[in-house]
Structure 1
């Protein structure tokens, strides 16, 4: 009987051992799944950390370079102001020269007309009078255009 009891006890123990082995395998599989999930979570966290680090590095680089662009921008604005001032000064000078030229124009036109009148007196023939009228028309045209140099050339050509 002791032998049967011992056999029964061994069978019970074997069944319990098999049951424990099954539970151990089940727990092992569950634990493997948890480890996989933790790895995945860790990798996702690592990816997120890498993204945050890259973003932080970019922000730091932008902040580091930003003052250089601000300095260049200020320098460009200063240079632009200087160029505008130079342009305004040049325009003012040009306008003053145009005013001076315009003020001298009546005297020069009068001088050309006097020369033409003097030259016209010498041209008494019909063809000479026609030349004087042509020259006077050209003078009037060039007065409108303001081309004084051309007027002097015309006056010299008529002589």
Structure 2
């Protein structure tokens, strides 16, 4: 992830893939201190995951911000105990199915040939938009008979 972030900054390093993780983190920190940034880290699952990324974002005195999304309110409160996390509701089954069909069959979102697996798809997605879009996008690349 550090490499992905560094590739999106104006850095001049060659062979950046060969640099150790700790050095990459320090380098990203020095770059970010010169920039004003907004970084969104999606689906941070544990506090340990956050701690892997916290060092480069240590100083927000220049107005920069880091926003995280997580399904675990404990992670959100550990990352920033002074914040007020926004709890998003899961999608209803109807909204889940509509979004899934829209992603899986963009040209014909009223596809009904999946009714035999509808309950399984709904249980896999659990009303989570990211899971719905991922599964729908995956199924959009295969033929329905497959």
- Coarse TM-score class (shorter-chain normalised): under 0.3
Question: Which protein shows a greater Rg?
Answer: 1
Q: Which has the higher strand share?
A: 2
TM-score (norm 1): 0.25
TM-score (norm 2): 0.27
Which of structures 1 and 2 has the larger relative contact order (alpha carbons within 8 angstroms, sep 6+)?
2
